[in-house]
Amino acid sequence: MDLACGVGADGRWHCWSIVRVRAYALRRLGLHPDQPTAAVTGPSPPGWWHAAAERNAR
């Protein structure tokens, strides 16, 4: 994992991180780009669903 932080032109801190995952790990989860399960096949859930999920996560 790479992490870079620094002060931007606006004086605020900005951070970037890069996470690398091996292809075989993605394949096991069905998330490799070559697998059909990695593609979005339907519409996104409605906004209330996201809000309820965030509320319930706390």
pLDDT tens string 6-42: 888 888 888 888 888 888 888 888 888 888 877 778 8
First to last CA, the chain: 27
> For the chain, what is the largest distance between any 2 Cα atoms, rounded to a whole number of angstroms?
44
pLDDT, tens digit (0-9, with 9 covering 90-100), for 33-58: 888 877 778 888 888 888 888 888 87
Give domain limits for the chain: 2-53
pTM for this entry = 0.39
Instruction: State the chain's mean pLDDT as an integer.
Output: 84
